[in-house]
C-alpha cells in the first residue's frame, strides 16, 4: 500500500484547457460573424441613444410627473407620491440623466430578455425532453459570476452600450424561463382536461387557459428579469455601458466616495421604483384580481 502511495505521489489530474477552447470559440465567432456583431452593436447603441434622448427630451420635472402618474395608476397615491419624491431626489443628486440612460438599457434589455425567456419557458413546460436540456443550461447561467458575462460581450461587441446590453440580456434570462415553466406546470390539470374535453386545440389551451392562469408566476419572472437587468447594467458600467453604473465606476476608480454614494443612491431609488412597479403590474392580473375577490390572496 505504501509503495502504491509513493508511486502516486506528485500525480495530478492533467490540465483541462477549457479557457483555450473558449478563446477558440470566440475567435471563430469574431472571424466568421464579425460583420453581424458589428451591425448588432451599432443597432443597440442607436436604440439605447434614441430611447435615452427621448426620456431626457422633456424637462426633468415633466418626467417626475409621468413616472408618478404611472405609479398612481398601478399602485395608488402613496406610491405616486413616493415616486415623485424619489425622482426629485435623483435630480437633486445631478444623477437624472444617468438614471434615464440606465433606464433605457434596462427597458431594452428587459424586453429582449422577456421575448426570449417566455417562449423557452413555455417550451420547457410542454416538453419533458426540452425541460431536461434547458434546466442545466439555466443552472449554469444562473450560477455563473456576473463579471464572466462581460468577457464574451466585450470580445464580440467591443466596449460600450452593446456589450453591456448583451451581457445584461444573457444574465437576466434564467429566472424568466424558470418561473414561466413553473407557472404553466402548476396550472390545474383539470382545467386543461376541461379544455381538451371541449375540443380546444393545444394552441388554444395554451393561450386561453395555461398562460392566463400562469400569469402571476410569469409576471414574477418579468419582475426578476427587470431587477437582474438593473444590477447587471450597473456592472456593465465597467465596460463602458452608459448610465449610473459608469458614474459609480468612475467615482470608485477616482476615490470620489461622496459622488459614488450619491450615484449608488440613485441606483437604489430606481431599483425600488422598478421593483414596486412590476410587482404592482403582476398584482393587476386577472387571476390575482379573482383571488382577491374570492378572499384567497
Q: Is 11 part of a structural domain of the chain?
A: no
What would the mean pLDDT of 249-261 be, rounded to a whole number? Answer: 87
Would you state the pLDDT for residue 128? 92
pLDDT at residue 9 tops 80 = no
d(CA 84, CA 80): 6
d(CA 135, CA 138): 5
Would you state the pLDDT for residue 254? 87
| Percent of the chain as helix, strand, coil, to the nearest 5 | 85, 0, 15
Q: Show Cβ contacts of residue 172 under 8 Å, excluding neighbours closer than 6 positions.
A: 109, 110, 113, 224, 225, 226, 228, 229, 232
Closest Cα partner for 71 from 272, 263, 234? 272
Burial (CB < 10 A; 0-12, 13-18, 19+), residue 20, is: exposed
Q: Is 78 part of a structural domain of the chain?
A: yes
Would you state the pLDDT for residue 177? 94
Q: What is the pLDDT of the chain when averaged over all its residues?
A: 88
Domain CATH code at residue 213: 1.10.3720.10
What would the mean pLDDT of 63-72 be, rounded to a whole number? Answer: 93
Question: Can you tell me which residue has the cell 424568466?
Answer: 176
In percent, how much of the chain has pLDDT > 70? 94
pLDDT at residue 129 tops 60 = yes
Q: Is 132 part of a structural domain of the chain?
A: yes
Q: Is 2 part of a structural domain of the chain?
A: no
pLDDT at residue 152 tops 80 = yes
pTM value is 0.87
Closest Cα partner for 136 from 148, 144, 146? 144
Q: Note down the domain range covering 192.
A: 32-283
CA end-to-end span of the chain: 66
d(CA 178, CA 135): 8
DSSP class per residue in 123-164:
HHHH-HHHHHHHHHHHHHHHHS-HHHHHHHHHHHH-SSHHHH
Q: Is 1 part of a structural domain of the chain?
A: no
Would you state the pLDDT for residue 297? 57
Computed over its alpha carbons, how large is the radius of gyration of the chain? 23
Could you read off the pLDDT of 171-206 as tens digits, one per residue?
999 999 999 999 999 888 888 888 888 888 888 888
Q: Is 216 part of a structural domain of the chain?
A: yes
Q: Is 54 part of a structural domain of the chain?
A: yes
What would the mean pLDDT of 39-45 be, rounded to a whole number? Answer: 90
Phi-psi sector, 48: left (phi>0), alpha (psi -120 to 50), beta? alpha
What would the mean pLDDT of 95-115 be, rounded to a whole number? Answer: 92
The distance of Cα 54 from the centroid of its chain, to the nearest Å, equals 22
Q: Show Cβ contacts of residue 143 under 8 Å, excluding neighbours closer than 6 positions.
A: none
d(CA 18, CA 101): 36
What would the mean pLDDT of 261-278 be, rounded to a whole number? Answer: 91
Would you state the pLDDT for residue 11? 76
Q: Is 83 part of a structural domain of the chain?
A: yes
Q: How many domains does the chain have?
A: 1
Would you state the pLDDT for residue 194? 85
Q: Show Cβ contacts of residue 206 under 8 Å, excluding neighbours closer than 6 positions.
A: 122, 126
- Contact predicate 150/167, CB 8 Å: yes
Phi, psi at 195, each rounded to 5°: -60, -40
DSSP class per residue in 242-262:
-SHHHHHHHHHHTT-HHHHHH
Amino acid at each position: 500500500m505504501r509503495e502504491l502511495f509513493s508511486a502516486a505521489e506528485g500525480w495530478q489530474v492533467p490540465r483541462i484547457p477549457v479557457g483555450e477552447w473558449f478563446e477558440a470559440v470566440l475567435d471563430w465567432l469574431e472571424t466568421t460573424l464579425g460583420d453581424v456583431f458589428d451591425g448588432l452593436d451599432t443597432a443597440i447603441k442607436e436604440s439605447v441613444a434614441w430611447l435615452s434622448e427621448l426620456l431626457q427630451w422633456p424637462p426633468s420635472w415633466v418626467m417626475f410627473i409621468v413616472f408618478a402618474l404611472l405609479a398612481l395608476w398601478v399602485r395608488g397615491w402613496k406610491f405616486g407620491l413616493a415616486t415623485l419624491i424619489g425622482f426629485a431626489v435623483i435630480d437633486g443628486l445631478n444623477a437624472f440623466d444617468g438614471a434615464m440612460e440606465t433606464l433605457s438599457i434596462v427597458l431594452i434589455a428587459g424586453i429582449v430578455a422577456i421575448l426570449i425567456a417566455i417562449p423557452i419557458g413555455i417550451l420547457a413546460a410542454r416538453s419533458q425532453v426540452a425541460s431536461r436540456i434547458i434546466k442545466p443550461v439555466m443552472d449554469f447561467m444562473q450560477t455563473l459570476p456576473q463579471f464572466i458575462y462581460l468577457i464574451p460581450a466585450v470580445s464580440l461587441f467591443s466596449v460600450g452600450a452593446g456589450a453591456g446590453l448583451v451581457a445584461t440580456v444573457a444574465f437576466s434570462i434564467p429566472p424568466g424561463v424558470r418561473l414561466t415553466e413553473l407557472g404553466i406546470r402548476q396550472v390545474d390539470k383539470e382545467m386543461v382536461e376541461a379544455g381538451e374535453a371541449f375540443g380546444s386545440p393545444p394552441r388554444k389551451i395554451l393561450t386561453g387557459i395555461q398562460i392566463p392562469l400562469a400569469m402571476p408566476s410569469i409576471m414574477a419572472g418579468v419582475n426578476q428579469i427587470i431587477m437582474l437587468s438593473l444590477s447587471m447594467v450597473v456592472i456593465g458600467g465597467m465596460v463602458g455601458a452608459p448610465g449610473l453604473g459608469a458614474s459609480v465606476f468612475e467615482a470608485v476608480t477616482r476615490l470620489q466616495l461622496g459622488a459614488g454614494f450619491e450615484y449608488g443612491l440613485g441606483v437604489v431609488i430606481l431599483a425600488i421604483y422598478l421593483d414596486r412597479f412590476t410587482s404592482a403590474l403582476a398584482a393587476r392580473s386577472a387571476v390575482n384580481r379573482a383571488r382577491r375577490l374570492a378572499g384567497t390572496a
